[in-house]
Structure 1
Amino acid sequence: MMTKVEPHPAHIDRLLEAGRTGEAIAATERAAASGDKEALFRLALWHLIGEILPRDLARARQLLRKAREAGHVEAAHMEIALTVTGSGAQADWSTGCMLLQKLSSIDAAAAHQAQLLTAMRLDAFGVPKTLPKAEVLSASPRVTLFRDFLTEAECAHIAATSAPLLEPSLVVDPASGRQMPHPIRTSDGALIGPTREDPVIRAINLRIAAISQTDVAQGEALTILRYRPGQQYRLHLDTLPHTRNQRVKTVLVYLNGGFAGGETQFPSIGLTVAPRGGDALVFDNVTEDGRPDVRTKHAGLPVRAGAKWLATRWIRARSFDPWRGPEVPL
């Protein structure tokens, strides 16, 4: 009587659930050595996450390449993202775009990204050749508006990329250690980190760096917030206490229109900005000597009808490794 062999992923999951991690790793490595694309992808993820196996970005890149060559589409997308962002190796815009173009012949998502990139005016490194005109709303503290910063298609791509990741905004209760609803931000949020920073998102982050006059490596992961009726971001400062690498600037990009409310308000300087899809707002969070500027305390007013989508990038004072966090020096 023949013994039924379990599908590889299920077998590995059972080993992990049983705490037999060493056996799971060995079985996955054997399958990967035989060219199993799912095993190659799983090993790559383990090396990226750094829990089951030590974090090794260079090794993860090698495994993703092999998985992509074996026909794993998700691995191909992830390899492209890491290539253009420079995780595990030097950032290589041209190679990432070449891989995207190749993938676009068999994958609709890649074809859509390639189409969006074609419409952008970019140099050989993905940096925008032109920028929208700056409209200074406040000279001190400096608040600047860039109208039509993103196209409707670019806004839709950011929203679609983040939609599956959206979760209610939570914080950890210091008393109980449990997660609880965020007391300031009553929205749903998501981060677009290095593994999902596809060439379109990367080009947008490079555009954000250009209008904020900062290096792209100073920016935190692009954060997407969705506000439904009644949700808001109460009055707050974007600076952080006890940090070695302060948030010196904030860039807000309004991703849609067609909703009521949701204005960005700076009470200390008497400024209220009405959201318009595609516009970007840039403001300084610190004074010239690096101290938090209380005049930039701001709020996202409650949405009265519809849904407001917003992309936020907090810009730190210095560049940092996104895998180790903004507080760890390069």
Structure 2
Amino acid sequence: MADGRATRAEQLAAAGQIDAAVTLLVEGAASGDAGAAMLLAVWHLRGTPVPRDLPRARALLRRAVQIGHVDAALMEVALTANGSGGAPDWPAALALLRTAAQGDAVAAAQLALVAAMALDGGGGPSSLSPGVPLATIPRIVHFSGFLTAAECAHVASVAGAMLEPARIIDPATGQWVAHPIRTSDAAAIGPVHEDLVMRAINARIAAASGTAIEQGEALTVLRYRPGQEYRPHLDTIHGAANQRVATMLIYLNGGFAGGETHFPAPRVTVTPRGGDALLFFNTLADDRADPATRHAGLPVRSGAKWLATRWIRARPLDPWNQPADAL
């Protein structure tokens, strides 16, 4: 029965029998069915077909981990670190990862990457090399070797399975449609996938930009193949109450041609190099969008360009109040 309980619950939910599905999963979790506990936790994280309840999801993940669910253990680590369903707790998350690493190669690899980072007790960088200014109006700063090759590879691997053609919500219909100016594949690494390596990288971005980690949107990974580009655009959002005040771009690889980041107004063009990062500030002193920050990702001529982007808001935002595919 345990093996089929989650499948049966999915069938019940699809048929609109939500209460029966939840009852089945609750009974399963109580009787030692790790898959049932995990599925109900995921439902509470997604907010469908049951209401979102992050503390309840955390409790169900803990139950699944106790039974022996490896994926639940890694998810619990991520949510403990970023404070989903509780307060952010890096030391507790690190302790959970150490436990998971004793029996799981994926967790062990993440732990090794974290151990190689220079971090303080909260997962932030213990030191940070200053960037090199490329322009003052707008302010553009270049960071050489912002990520190591291993860190770049990890970011790309986390996003790789989630990549899909870049989309945008059509304001007229509310439907997802192909992005009109960005022809890459994209994936957002939201709180469920924000493992300790990702959390530490996001903390490094916050430190480099002089902002709080809570101001950053989900790190978005873009893959550009030959001919793909991001045509000239601003990163600000028209009419946004909580504006994108800064952007951090991180080049994840080399071995491709083209794909430069070009700012026409200040006449700045940056040739991507794996591990380097580019920080620029999108707004003027009065909080209006700075037209001089219009920039483009020039077409890739050969190979594949991998890029990570973190858009930073003026104030903290709720990472769970994002599109479903950004969680």
Q: TM-score, normalised by structure 2?
A: 0.96
| Separation of aligned partners in 2, 1:5 and 1:248 | 49
| Separation of aligned partners in 1, 2:13 and 2:60 | 21
| Separation of aligned partners in 2, 1:172 and 1:282 | 26
1:260 deviates by 0.1
Paired residues for 1:263-274 under 5 Å: 263-274=260-271
Are 2:296 and 1:296 equivalent residues in the alignment?
no
Residue number in structure 2 paired with 1:226: 223
Residue number in structure 2 paired with 1:136: 133
RMSD over aligned Cα, in angstroms? 1.5
| Separation of aligned partners in 1, 2:33 and 2:182 | 44
Residue number in structure 2 paired with 1:157: 154
Cα 1:89–1:179 change in 2 (3 A) is closer
Cα 1:259–1:14 change in 2 (3 A) is same
Q: 1:146 aligns with which of 128, 143, 147?
A: 143
Q: Secondary structure at the match of 1:310?
A: strand
Provide Cα deviations, 1:223-244, integer angstroms capped at 9, x if missing partner.
Answer: 0000000000000000001111
Provide Cα deviations, 1:47-67, integer angstroms capped at 9, x if missing partner.
Answer: 111122221111111110111
Cα 1:43–1:120 change in 2 (3 A) is same
Question: In the alignment, is the contact (CA less than 8 A) between 1:228 and 1:307 conserved in 2?
Answer: yes
Q: 1:247 aligns with which of 239, 244, 247?
A: 244
Are 2:188 and 1:205 equivalent residues in the alignment?
no
Structure 1: tracts of 5 or more residues without a match: none
Provide Cα deviations, 1:21-75, integer angstroms capped at 9, x if missing partner.
Answer: 2211111111112121111111111111112222111111111011111100111
Cα 1:177–1:139 change in 2 (3 A) is closer
The amino acid across from 2:319 in the alignment is P
Question: In the alignment, is the contact (CA less than 8 A) between 2:234 and 2:291 conserved in 1?
Answer: yes
Residue number in structure 1 paired with 2:306: 309
Q: 2:282 aligns with which of 258, 280, 285?
A: 285
Cα 1:177–1:249 change in 2 (3 A) is closer
Structure 1 stretch 128-137 or stretch 15-24: which is displaced more?
15-24
Cα 1:261–1:26 change in 2 (3 A) is same
1:280 deviates by 0.6
Residue number in structure 1 paired with 2:11: 14
Are 2:120 and 1:115 equivalent residues in the alignment?
no
1:10 deviates by 2.1
1:132 deviates by 2.1
Are 2:69 and 1:72 equivalent residues in the alignment?
yes
Residue number in structure 2 paired with 1:28: 25
The amino acid across from 2:66 in the alignment is E
Question: In the alignment, is the contact (CA less than 8 A) between 1:236 and 1:298 conserved in 2?
Answer: yes
Provide Cα deviations, 1:107-142, integer angstroms capped at 9, x if missing partner.
Answer: 111111111011101010011011123100001210
| Separation of aligned partners in 2, 1:321 and 1:18 | 32
| Separation of aligned partners in 1, 2:18 and 2:187 | 30
Q: Secondary structure at the match of 2:114?
A: helix
1:160 deviates by 0.3
The amino acid across from 1:313 in the alignment is R
Identity rate of aligned residues, in percent?
55
| Separation of aligned partners in 2, 1:54 and 1:123 | 36
Q: Secondary structure at the match of 1:245?
A: coil
Paired residues for 1:37-116 under 5 Å: 37-116=34-113
Q: Secondary structure at the match of 2:232?
A: strand
Question: In the alignment, is the contact (CA less than 8 A) between 1:155 and 1:255 conserved in 2?
Answer: yes
Question: In the alignment, is the contact (CA less than 8 A) between 2:248 and 2:277 conserved in 1?
Answer: yes
Question: In the alignment, is the contact (CA less than 8 A) between 1:132 and 1:148 conserved in 2?
Answer: no
1:174 deviates by 4.3
Q: Secondary structure at the match of 2:296?
A: strand
Q: How many residues align?
A: 323
Cα 1:164–1:89 change in 2 (3 A) is same
Cα 1:6–1:68 change in 2 (3 A) is closer
Q: TM-score, normalised by structure 1?
A: 0.95
The amino acid across from 1:320 in the alignment is L
